[in-house]
Structure 1
C-alpha cells in the first residue's frame, strides 16, 4: 500500500485507513463473523489506521475494536483513533470519564489519534467553556494520547476562527470527496488546513457509501 509522510508528526502512514462506524450488526452488537474478516483483509493489505468514536453504534464500535484489533494484533503495529463527543462534556470530569471508558472498551492504555468530535465554531466555544480543549492537551502531555486533533463539520469561516484562536493542532479530519469538494466548500476548507501546514486525514471519501450507490433507477436497468 502507498505510504504518505505526515512530516509535522514525523511518521509515515499507509494511504488507506478503515472506519469502524458502518459495520454489520446482529442483535444489537457488531456481527464479528462478518466484520472481523473485513478488518483482517484491510490489515493484511497494509492498513494501520483504524477509526472509531465513543458514540459510534452506541459504543459497540469501540468494543469491536478490542475484539477485532487490540486483542489480536501487536499494539505497536497499528494506530487507533477515537473521538470525544464534546456535546456530552460539561466539565473536565465528564471528559475524563468518557476518555477512560473509551480506553476500557478498546482495551488500550493510550490512544494514538484523539479528536474533538465533529466541531464547528459554535461547538468550539462550548468546548472552551467546558475545558475539553485543555483536557485534550493534558492527555497528550501525560502520554495518554499521541496526537491531538479534531474532526470538522462547519463553514470555512468557522474553521478560520478556530485556527485563529488555536492554531496548534497535530492533525484535522475533514469530509472530502468529489461531491463535497464544491457542493459543501470542501475544497476551500481543505486549502485552509493545508495552508496552515496541519496534517490532514480524510473521512467519508465515498460519503457513507452514497457515492458508490448507483440508485434504484440505474439498478433497475
Structure 2
C-alpha cells in the first residue's frame, strides 16, 4: 500500500479508501446489505493497508454506518480513520446538527468520528447551514470530543467550490467527484489544485465514475490495447487519479471481494507521476473516444436553460449521451425516471426558443423526442 500526507495533518492516508456506498446486497435491495461479506471485504482491505473508511447517513438506507461500526470491532477501530457525513438537506435548525451527529455516533458504535463532512454542499445548501451556525456548532462539537475535523463533500460548479473553501479556514478535507472523464466537471481539475494549494486534503470520489469506466466499449478498448504497458480499464482509471500528487486518497465503492483484491493490488503501485507523458496522452485519447460515442452534439453549455416549459433539456441529453457512451442504459433510465413529470422530454412544446440559443444548432425538439423514446418506459415512449 502507498501512503500520502493528508493535507495539513501530521498523518499519512492510504491512497485507497473504502467507500461504503455500494456494498454487496441481499436480493438486490439497497437496504439489505450482506453484512458478513461486507465485514470480510473491509477487514481484508484494512489488513492490506487501507486506513480510511468513508460512509454517510443515508447510504444503504442507514445501514452503511451500522455495518461500518460492526466492522470496526475486534481491534479494527484503532487501525483506521472514519469519515461520515451530515445530511445537510435534513437539517432545519441547530438542534438538527446535534441530533444527527449523536445518532451517527450510536450507529457507528464509536465515541468519536475522525472526519465529519457536510454532505454534498452546493451553492444552495452551504449558505443554508452556514447561516444556521454550522461552523460555530461544529467547533463546539470538536471541543466536546464528538469529532476531530470538519470537512465537506461537494456537488456544484467551480465558483461555488472556491467560495466554500474560502469561507472557513479550518477545513481538513474537500471531497470531490474526479476522474479522467470529469476533468472539467463540478470542481474538476482546477478545484483539486485549488483545495490542495490551500492545504486541504483532497479526497476523490467516483474515480471509476460509478463503475462506468471499469468496462471499456470497443473503441475505447482499442485505445488501451495500443499501449505499450498493458493495463485493465480499472487500472488506467485509478492510476490516472493517483498519478496526481494533489490527490490524497481515492475512494472506491467496492461491491465484491474481487474488486477489493484488485484495487488493493493496484494501490500498491500508485505513486505520483507513475504514468508517462505518452500514457497521459493515451488517457486523453480515450476521453475523446468516449465523447465521440455520444449520440447528441450537446456540450452541456446550458444556453438552452431554463426551458420556458420546464423541460430539463441539458440534463436529459447528458443522460442519453452517457447511456450510449458507457453502455449503461439502466442507470440513465433510472435517472430519467427520477425527473418530475414537467421536466421530462415529452413535455416539450416545440416553441423553438432553445434552438435559437443553442451554439451547436441542434434540433433540440427532435433530439428530445429520441431521448424520450430511449429513456422512458416502453408503455410511455410508445415503443
Structure 1 length-normalised TM:
0.90
Equivalent residues in 2 for 1:97-112, closer than 5 Å: 97-112=99-114
Equivalent residues in 2 for 1:14-163, closer than 5 Å: 14-26=14-26, 28-67=31-70, 69-163=71-165
1:43, CA displacement in angstroms?
Answer: 1.2
Please tell me whether Structure 1 or Structure 2 has the larger radius of gyration of its CA atoms. 2
Unmatched tracts of structure 1, length 5 or more: none
Q: Is the contact between residue 151 and residue 172 of structure 1 (CA under 8 Å) also seen in structure 2?
A: yes
Give 3-state SS (helix, strand or coil) of 2:114's partner: strand
Residue in structure 1 matched with residue 184 of structure 2 by the alignment: 182
Give 3-state SS (helix, strand or coil) of 1:39's partner: helix
The answer to whether structure 1 residue 207 and structure 2 residue 209 are counterparts is yes
**148-157 or 182-191: bigger deviation:** 182-191
1:10, CA displacement in angstroms?
Answer: 1.0
Give 3-state SS (helix, strand or coil) of 1:116's partner: strand
Q: Is the contact between residue 155 and residue 186 of structure 2 (CA under 8 Å) also seen in structure 1?
A: no
- RMSD (CA atoms): 2.2
**Number of residue-to-residue matches in the alignment:** 219
Q: Deviations over 1:194-213 (max 9, x none)?
A: 22121211111111111113
Q: Is the contact between residue 91 and residue 132 of structure 1 (CA under 8 Å) also seen in structure 2?
A: no
Q: Deviations over 1:165-206 (max 9, x none)?
A: 223311111111111113555111112212212121111111
Q: Hey, what's the Cα distance between the residues in 1 that align with 2:168 and 2:83?
A: 21
Seen in structure 2, the aligned counterparts of structure 1 residues 149 and 206 have a Cα distance that, compared at 3 Å, is same
Structure (1 or 2) with the greater strand fraction: 1
Give 3-state SS (helix, strand or coil) of 1:17's partner: strand
1:216, CA displacement in angstroms?
Answer: 9.8
Unmatched tracts of structure 2, length 5 or more: 222-326, 328-383
Q: Deviations over 1:98-149 (max 9, x none)?
A: 1111111111110011100010122110111222332222222222111110
Seen in structure 2, the aligned counterparts of structure 1 residues 53 and 178 have a Cα distance that, compared at 3 Å, is same
Q: Is the contact between residue 89 and residue 130 of structure 1 (CA under 8 Å) also seen in structure 2?
A: no
1:76, CA displacement in angstroms?
Answer: 2.1
**30-39 or 198-207: bigger deviation:** 30-39
Structure 2 length-normalised TM:
0.54
Q: Hey, what's the Cα distance between the residues in 1 that align with 2:11 and 2:146?
A: 18
Residue in structure 2 matched with residue 13 of structure 1 by the alignment: 13
